[in-house]
Structure 1
Amino acid sequence: MKHQAQQQAARTQRPQHQAAQGQPQAVLEFFHKASEDKHKKLVLAVSERGGVILRLIEREGEGQKAIVFSLNRTETISLAREVEFYLMGVVKPTPNVSGRPTIVEFFHYNDQSGQYKKLAVEVFEDGGLALVLREGEKGRIPDGIVFSLSRAEAIHLVEELKLLFQRRV
C-alpha cells in the first residue's frame, strides 16, 4: 500500500505549551490518522545535551506502542544534512541489507544488556520518506514502527533540525 494512502488525514502542529519539569519540550509533531481507531505520531523534542529525542507512537484500538531514539548533536546534524542532500537530488539512496533504498542509518547498541535501537531513513518510489525505528535484543525478533513522511513533511523536518542545531552554535 502506498504511504500516501496510509496518511489519509495528516496535520502538522508546533506545540506552544511548555514541557513539564524533567520532560523534554516538543518542537515538532506530525500526526497521521489511518482510520478511526488507528493513528501514528512523531514527536521531536530537544534533549538536555543538545541533541534531539525522536519518539514514534503507534496506536491501534486500545493498544499503543512507542519507541524512543535519542540522537546526539553530531547525529542530529548528520540526519538533517543527509535528508536535505537527498531532497535536493545531490545524493542517491543506497540499498540496505534488505534491499530498500536508504538515505541514512543510526545504530545504538548496549553491550551490557544486548539491547539495540536502529533508526533508518528509507525512500519510497514516489519520493516520500519512511522513518523506520526498531528496537530489540540480540537473538530476538525486533519491535518496530514505520512513520511515513511526504516530501513536504520531510522538508519541514529538515528545517526544524537545522534550526535546532543553529540555535546551539
Structure 2
Amino acid sequence: MSEHPLVQAYLADLDRALVGSDPREHQDTLDAVREHLEEALGEEPTSDDVRRVLAGLGSVDAIAAGTTPVVVPPAVTVLPAAPAPGRADPGALVALVASLVAVLTLFLSPFVAIPLALVALVVAILRVRRPSGRSTLAWSALVVSGTTLVLSTVLGLLLIAVGDSSPEPGPVHSEPAAER
C-alpha cells in the first residue's frame, strides 16, 4: 500500500504541509494518516481505490490546518543605549579626567596618584567592555590610567626604597674637658 505512487505523493505533500505544526503533532498526524491508509486500502489496492480513499481524507492543507502550529516567541533584542552622536560618554570622560589628574599628582605624591589611577583604570575598563562604550575616549582613559598606575607604583616603590638616607644622630656623649 505505502509503495503506491499516489500514497507516497500524498504523504510527502502532507509532510510539507505540516512543517509549521508542532513537531510531535506533525509526526503523530503522519503516522495516523499512514495507518488509516493501510487499513482502508489493504494489500493490493487499485489506483481508483487509492484515489477514492485519498479523496475521503481530504486535502493535505485541510489536515495541516487542524494541527497546532508551532509557537515561536518573538525574538526580543535589547540593545544598550548608546551615547547620542556627537556627545561624549560621561563615564569615559570621568575616567580620562581622573587619569589626567593622577598624572598631574604623580610627581607631587605618587601615593595619591596610585588610588586615583586605579579608580580611573577600573572605570575605563568598564566603559571599554560595554558594547556602546568602545569609543576613543574610553580607550584613551584606559591607556592613560594604566600608564599612570604603573609609573606611580614604580615611583612610590622607589621612594620607599630610597627613604631618608641622612644619618640619624646618636646619643650625645659629653666628655669632660681636659684641664689645661
Fold shared per TM-score above 0.5? no
TM-score normalised per structure 1: 0.21
Greater percentage in strand: 1
Structure having greater relative contact order (Cα 8 Å, sep ≥ 6):
2
Greater percentage in helix: 2
